[in-house]
């Protein structure tokens, strides 16, 4: 194994090693030195409540901004820009990577694209199918018949299976499709800097003003080619039909993205996103052998531009499907696998760390700060619920008579209980905001569902463990032992499959 | 966006200040530290946790009423001894002294405040000499010495029924016991045991009732029912033995005793007898030893032994088991 591979393996082990180290150390301390463990738990609890309040405040701010901007007439704003910022030169290249999703999933996405206010002749659609899906060509024909005449250009691509150096990932398919689109763009002699590319999940439905919003931000940004543009993902397509806990998990996911949009120095692309086509070509497209292509593309840009690359938040939503199945157990499995795939983004740490070692132009402090942020977010994801829910009571359980006689043994449950109650207050804010983010209740859905929407928050302690920490620990442990995951598309429940 | 980022920066630094500013206070509080304004020093305190049964008692600490009612914790107490009084209307108060140590909890969580008017109920108005309560079956057995009748009731003291008559000429009853199968009882005096079958009980194996078992040369100290409700374990001033509860049964002496008034306990569930006896060692020291005699697995052996003539069993005063003496 060469030096680079050894370093990469070491960086792959660090996040999981750190997460397990924290958990096992606290368990060990709870048994042999419960007082130290209790002090650490109280410290963590206090840190967590401060962090929760801080993040909830950011969520309120982001939510406020989203409410203010999501219905804005962005094209009108584009019209009002100075002449040198001519939006009409911009083409919108939209790629939908499709694997096993049928027309019932992709049709609403294309219909939403068709309903956008952006001039359709400036929209180039690429439906990127996987050749290994035996229904790919049949599905492509169905969609072509319905939508090919609706846009400036409509391409169907079929990504061959097993190309050298590729894994079965969404990024490989997207890159193949982007290269096919490049041929089309070259053929039409369209300048790359005039093309904005959006890579959307197959079930992504955009708002009518999406491309107006994207164009406006692109034209008004400083160094617009050195940025990715991140809309706010919501899971509204089938949210009223989805089971309670699946809905809750996805709402929490949307909220996390909203919070991240306020922390620009840490903001990384996630799921459906847009960027300059020129930049995409320059940084050699999405990675073809990594699952977390949506975030790695940002890091590729960051490394390529020596740290001068950022994510611009777009306060406009793109709506996707809540992942669920036809019973609670299968839904839990579907959700678990999706969250584990998201948590597989921990592979970014090794990618970024090895990239930083090669790059001499990014300042060391900047490198360390970004690596710390990455490590912090993944390790916190894996351990926080375990510490709060499972390790918290351990000093009392294992402390024995001596620990029980100490003031701290008496104060530990009191303080943690108080802090938890405080967290409940922030939960009320989250409940209120989750209500505000919902689409109107469709006909045929009982008003009683509104009450369920509130009551379902009682699942939170269960969810933070089962669909929070455990999938993250699972992903980190797999990466530690080099058991690399393959892309496994989520079962989407627009129509229950 | 700039304005949002400014607010966010402010919130971030505010959170940092809150965390690092608040954490020492929380940890000091958790560990029991208190700032003493008089000395400008941190003092490590202790606390008293009070829980009473029933709850809601007023708490006086060094004769001063505190606002909390039990269960409560009285925190930030300088180490020392405190007078504590717990008061609840219509209950006897609890008084005591509690020692408080630095960083520790003094727990008073087993305080029961008894009512001034006890929850007393007269179940019946009967004349009896003694009673035996079988909680498992929910029955109370009564022995009336005046008219020599045994009767029983339920736990409410009602639904009486006569179940047996005591032999008229049986005097000086020391104790009595109902068999585990609840079909008979024994009574014993220093020289005799009588087994009386309850009325209506299955009298299989009992052609006579009462059955008299005589111990003319020994003084009976204690009698227990074996779990088979047929054998009796008898402790006399000389032996520990077993005897069937039938007319003409011969006792099997299992252990010789040195002490006349041995103390004993019979584990009826496992048929194990625990007893004490004294023994003199070679150097003249007297030891009081505790013994365990298992009677469960040896029952078959006992039945076999019953068939041997008493003279074969007790050739010279029944010295059947010799207990070893430490040091011998």
pLDDT value for B18: 95
Residue A469 has pLDDT above 60, yes or no: yes
Residue A337 has pLDDT above 80, yes or no: yes
* Same-domain check for residues B149 and B99: no
Q: In what order do the strands lie in the sheet with B105-112?
A: B72-77, B46-53, B105-112
Could you give the percent of chain B with pLDDT greater than 70? Answer: 88
Whether B2 maps to a domain, the answer reads no
Q: How confident is the model at residue A488 (pLDDT cuts 50, 70, 90)?
A: low
Q: Map residue A423 onto helix, strand or coil.
A: helix
Kindly list the structural domains of chain A, giving each domain's residue range(s) and its CATH number in brackets, ordered by start. Answer: 3-66+367-480 (no CATH), 69-327 (3.90.550.10)
Name the more confident of B208 and A151. Answer: A151
* Same-domain check for residues B183 and B306: yes
pLDDT value for B313: 38
As a whole number, mean pLDDT of residues A188-192 equals 95
DSSP run (H or E) holding A60: helix A34-69
pLDDT value for B123: 87
User: CB–CB of B29 and A415 under 8 A?
Assistant: yes
User: CB–CB of B8 and A404 under 8 A?
Assistant: no
Q: How confident is the model at residue A331 (pLDDT cuts 50, 70, 90)?
A: confident
Residue B312 has pLDDT above 70, yes or no: no
Domain end (from B112, B142, B174): B112
- Contact between residue B84 and residue B65 where contact means Cβ atoms under 8 Å apart: no
pLDDT value for B204: 62
As a whole number, mean pLDDT of residues A450-459 equals 80
Backbone dihedral angles phi then psi of residue A349, each to the nearest 5 degrees: -60, -50
Domain count, chain B: 2
Tell me the C-alpha distance between A322 and A240, whole Å. Answer: 10
- Contact between residue A136 and residue A103 where contact means Cβ atoms under 8 Å apart: no
From B42's Cα to the closest Cα of chain A, the distance in A is 16
Which of these ranges, A109-123, A191-205, A461-475, has the smallest mean pLDDT? A461-475
Whether B318 maps to a domain, the answer reads no
Residue A230 has pLDDT above 80, yes or no: yes
pLDDT value for B314: 39
| pLDDT tens sequence across B234-278 | 999 999 999 999 888 999 999 999 988 889 999 988 999 999 999
pLDDT value for A410: 84
* Same-domain check for residues B199 and B307: yes
pLDDT value for A413: 85
Residue B93 has pLDDT above 80, yes or no: yes
Tell me the C-alpha distance between A233 and A237, whole Å. Answer: 11
pLDDT value for A265: 87
pLDDT value for B311: 42
* Same-domain check for residues B138 and B75: no
DSSP summary character for residue A323: B
User: CB–CB of A407 and B27 under 8 A?
Assistant: no
Which of these ranges, A218-227, B114-123, B317-326, has the smallest mean pLDDT? B317-326
Name the more confident of B146 and A382. Answer: A382
- Contact between residue A286 and residue A215 where contact means Cβ atoms under 8 Å apart: no
Measured between beta carbons, which residues in chain A are less than 8 angstroms from residue B74? none
| pLDDT tens sequence across A40-77 | 999 999 998 899 999 999 999 999 999 998 789 999 99
As a whole number, mean pLDDT of residues A337-353 equals 93
Question: What CATH number should be reported for the domain holding residue B73?
Answer: 2.60.40
Whether B287 maps to a domain, the answer reads yes
Cα nearest neighbour of B46 on chain A: A407
Whether B52 maps to a domain, the answer reads yes
Q: Does A42 touch chain B (CB under 8 A)?
A: yes
Measured between beta carbons, which residues in chain A are less than 8 angstroms from residue B31? 39, 407-408, 411
DSSP summary character for residue B140: E
Residues 6+ apart with CB under 8 A from A282: A304
**Nearest-CB residue to B4 (from A42, A47, A262):** A262
Whether B214 maps to a domain, the answer reads yes
pLDDT value for B206: 65
User: CB–CB of B31 and A410 under 8 A?
Assistant: no
* Same-domain check for residues B186 and B289: yes
Cα nearest neighbour of A411 on chain B: B30
User: CB–CB of A407 and B47 under 8 A?
Assistant: yes
* Same-domain check for residues B251 and B104: no
Measured between beta carbons, which residues in chain A are less than 8 angstroms from residue B11? 54, 57-58
Domain end (from B112, B138, B160): B112
As a whole number, mean pLDDT of residues B78-89 equals 95
Count of Cβ atoms closer than 10 Å to residue A267 Cβ: 19
| pLDDT tens sequence across A405-440 | 888 888 888 888 887 787 778 888 888 888 888 888
Name the more confident of B4 and A123. Answer: A123
Which of these ranges, A101-105, A256-260, B202-206, has the smallest mean pLDDT? B202-206
Instruction: Give the DSSP per-residue string, A154-167.
Output: EEEEEEPTT-TT--
Cα nearest neighbour of A49 on chain B: B19
Residue B304 has pLDDT above 60, yes or no: no
Residue A281 has pLDDT above 80, yes or no: yes
As a whole number, mean pLDDT of residues A29-35 equals 92
As a whole number, mean pLDDT of residues A196-208 equals 95
User: CB–CB of B12 and A54 under 8 A?
Assistant: yes
Residue A35 has pLDDT above 80, yes or no: yes
Residue A215 has pLDDT above 80, yes or no: yes
Instruction: Give the DSSP per-residue string, A21-44.
Output: HHHHHHHHHHHH-HHHHHHHHHHH
Measured between beta carbons, which residues in chain B are less than 8 angstroms from residue A38? 30
* Same-domain check for residues B197 and B279: yes
Could you give the percent of chain A with pLDDT greater than 90? Answer: 64
As a whole number, mean pLDDT of residues A328-343 equals 88
Whether B158 maps to a domain, the answer reads yes
Whether B25 maps to a domain, the answer reads no
Could you give the percent of chain B with pLDDT greater than 90? Answer: 55
Residue B317 has pLDDT above 70, yes or no: no
* Same-domain check for residues B65 and B186: no
Burial class (CB in 10 A: 0-12, 13-18, 19+), B113: buried
Its sign, for the CA torsion B168, B170, B175, B178, is negative
As a whole number, mean pLDDT of residues A74-96 equals 94
Residue B61 has pLDDT above 90, yes or no: yes
Measured between beta carbons, which residues in chain A are less than 8 angstroms from residue B47? 407, 410
Residue B316 has pLDDT above 80, yes or no: no
Measured between beta carbons, which residues in chain B are less than 8 angstroms from residue A262? 4-5, 8
Q: How confident is the model at residue A214 (pLDDT cuts 50, 70, 90)?
A: very high
User: CB–CB of B32 and A263 under 8 A?
Assistant: no
**Nearest-CB residue to B4 (from A61, A406, A411):** A61
As a whole number, mean pLDDT of residues B174-200 equals 92
Residue A484 has pLDDT above 70, yes or no: yes
Residue B97 has pLDDT above 70, yes or no: yes
Strands B58-61 and B80-87: antiparallel
ipTM above 0.85, yes or no: no
pLDDT value for B205: 60
Encoding tokens for residue A81?
A: 């820009």
pLDDT value for A496: 34
| pLDDT tens sequence across A443-453 | 888 888 778 87
Measured between beta carbons, which residues in chain B are less than 8 angstroms from residue A405? 104-105, 107
From B55's Cα to the closest Cα of chain A, the distance in A is 19
pLDDT value for A324: 79
Q: Cα torsion for B51, B55, B60, B61, to the nearest 10°?
A: 20
Measured between beta carbons, which residues in chain A are less than 8 angstroms from residue B6? none
Residue A137 has pLDDT above 90, yes or no: yes
* Same-domain check for residues B64 and B198: no
Q: Does A220 touch chain B (CB under 8 A)?
A: no
Measured between beta carbons, which residues in chain B are less than 8 angstroms from residue A47? 19
* Same-domain check for residues B56 and B140: no
* Same-domain check for residues B172 and B207: yes
Can the peptide bond before residue B223 be classed as cis, meaning omega within 30 degrees of 0?
Answer: no
Its sign, for the CA torsion B294, B296, B300, B302, is positive
User: CB–CB of A42 and B12 under 8 A?
Assistant: no
Q: B220: domain range? A: 130-313
Residues 6+ apart with CB under 8 A from B217: none
Strands A153-159 and A123-130: parallel
Whether B36 maps to a domain, the answer reads no
Residues 6+ apart with CB under 8 A from A340: A471, A472, A474, A475, A485
Residue B324 has pLDDT above 50, yes or no: no
Burial class (CB in 10 A: 0-12, 13-18, 19+), B69: middle
Residue B327 has pLDDT above 70, yes or no: no
Question: What CATH number should be reported for the domain holding residue B171?
Answer: 2.120.10.30
pLDDT value for A435: 82
* Same-domain check for residues B92 and B179: no
Q: How confident is the model at residue A128 (pLDDT cuts 50, 70, 90)?
A: very high
From A82's Cα to the closest Cα of chain B, the distance in A is 21
Tell me the C-alpha distance between A416 and A408, whole Å. Answer: 11
Residue B99 has pLDDT above 90, yes or no: yes
Domain end (from B112, B138, B163): B112
């Amino acid at each position: 194994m060469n030096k680079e591979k050894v370093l990469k393996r070491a960086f792959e082990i660090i996040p999981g090693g750190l997460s397990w180290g924290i958990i096992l150390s606290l368990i060990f301390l709870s048994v042999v030195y419960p007082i130290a463990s209790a002090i650490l738990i109280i410290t963590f609890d206090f840190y967590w409540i401060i962090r929760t309040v801080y993040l909830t405040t950011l969520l309120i701010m982001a939510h406020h901004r989203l409410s203010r901007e999501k219905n804005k007439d962005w094209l009108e704003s584009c019209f009002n820009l100075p002449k040198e910022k001519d939006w009409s030169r911009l083409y919108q290249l939209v790629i939908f990577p499709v694997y096993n999703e049928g027309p019932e999933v992709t049709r609403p996405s294309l219909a939403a694209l068709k309903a956008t206010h952006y001039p359709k002749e400036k929209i180039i659609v690429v439906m990127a199918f996987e050749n290994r899906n035996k229904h790919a060509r049949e599905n492509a024909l169905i969609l072509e018949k319905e939508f090919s005449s609706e846009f400036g250009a409509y391409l169907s691509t079929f990504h061959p299976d097993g190309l050298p150096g590729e894994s079965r990932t969404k990024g490989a398919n997207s890159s193949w499709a982007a290269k096919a689109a490049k041929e089309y763009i070259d053929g039409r002699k369209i300048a790359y800097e005039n093309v904005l590319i959006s890579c959307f999940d197959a079930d992504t439905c955009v708002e009518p003003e999406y491309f107006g919003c994207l164009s406006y931000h692109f034209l008004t940004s400083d160094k617009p080619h050195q940025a990715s543009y991140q809309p706010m993902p919501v899971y509204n397509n089938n949210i009223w039909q989805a089971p309670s806990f699946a809905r809750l998990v996805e709402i929490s996911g949307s909220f996390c993205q909203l919070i991240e949009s306020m922390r620009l120095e840490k903001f990384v692309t996630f799921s459906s996103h847009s960027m300059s086509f020129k930049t995409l070509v320059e940084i050699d497209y999405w990675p073809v052998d990594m699952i977390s292509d949506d975030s790695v593309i940002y890091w590729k840009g960051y490394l390529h531009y020596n740290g001068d690359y950022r994510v611009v938040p777009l306060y406009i939503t793109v709506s996707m499907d809540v992942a669920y199945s036809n019973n609670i157990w299968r839904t839990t499995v579907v959700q678990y696998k999706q969250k584990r795939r998201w948590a597989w983004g921990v592979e970014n740490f090794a990618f970024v760390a090895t990239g930083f070692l090669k790059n001499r132009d990014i300042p060391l402090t900047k490198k360390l700060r970004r690596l710390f942020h990455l490590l912090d977010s993944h390790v916190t994801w894996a351990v926080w619920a375990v510490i709060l829910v499972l390790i918290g009571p351990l000093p009392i359980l294992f402390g024995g008579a001596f620990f029980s006689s100490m003031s701290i043994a008496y104060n530990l449950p009191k303080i943690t209980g108080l802090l938890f109650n405080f967290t409940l207050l922030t939960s009320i804010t989250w409940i209120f905001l989750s209500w505000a983010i919902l689409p109107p209740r469709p006909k045929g859905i009982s008003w009683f569902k509104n009450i369920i929407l509130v009551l379902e928050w009682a699942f939170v302690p269960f969810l933070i463990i089962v669909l929070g920490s455990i999938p993250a620990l699972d992903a980190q442990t797999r990466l530690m032992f080099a058991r690399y995951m393959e892309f496994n598309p989520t079962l989407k429940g627009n129509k229950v499959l | 966006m700039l304005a949002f980022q400014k607010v966010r920066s402010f919130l971030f630094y505010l959170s940092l200040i809150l965390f690092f500013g608040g954490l020492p206070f929380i940890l000091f509080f958790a560990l029991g530290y208190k700032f003493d304004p008089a000395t400008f020093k941190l003092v490590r305190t202790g606390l008293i946790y009070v829980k009473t049964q029933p709850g809601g008692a007023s708490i006086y600490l060094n004769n001063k009423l505190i606002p909390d009612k039990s269960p409560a914790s009285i925190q930030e107490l300088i180490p020392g001894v405190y007078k504590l009084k717990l008061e609840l209307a219509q209950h006897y108060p609890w008084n005591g002294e509690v020692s408080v140590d630095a960083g520790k909890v003094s727990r008073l969580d087993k305080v029961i405040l008894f009512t001034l008017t006890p929850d007393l109920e007269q179940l019946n108005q009967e004349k009896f000499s003694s009673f035996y309560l079988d909680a498992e079956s929910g029955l109370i057995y009564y022995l009336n010495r005046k008219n020599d009748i045994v009767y029983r009731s339920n736990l409410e003291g009602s639904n009486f029924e006569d179940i047996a008559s005591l032999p008229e000429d049986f005097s000086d009853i020391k104790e009595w016991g109902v068999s585990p199968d609840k079909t008979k009882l024994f009574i014993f005096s220093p020289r005799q045991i009588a087994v009386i079958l309850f009325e209506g009980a299955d009298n299989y194996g009992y052609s006579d009732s009462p059955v008299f078992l005589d111990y003319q040369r020994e003084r009976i100290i204690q009698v227990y029912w074996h779990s088979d409700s047929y054998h009796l374990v008898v402790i006399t001033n000389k032996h520990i033995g077993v005897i069937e509860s039938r007319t003409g049964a011969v006792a099997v002496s299992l252990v010789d005793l040195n002490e006349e008034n041995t103390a004993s306990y019979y584990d009826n569930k496992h048929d194990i007898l625990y007893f004490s006896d004294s023994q003199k060692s070679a150097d003249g020291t007297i030891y009081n030893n505790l013994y365990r005699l298992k009677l469960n697995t040896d029952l078959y052996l006992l039945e076999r032994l019953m068939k041997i003539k008493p003279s074969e069993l007790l050739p010279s005063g029944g010295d059947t088991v010799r207990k070893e003496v430490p040091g011998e």
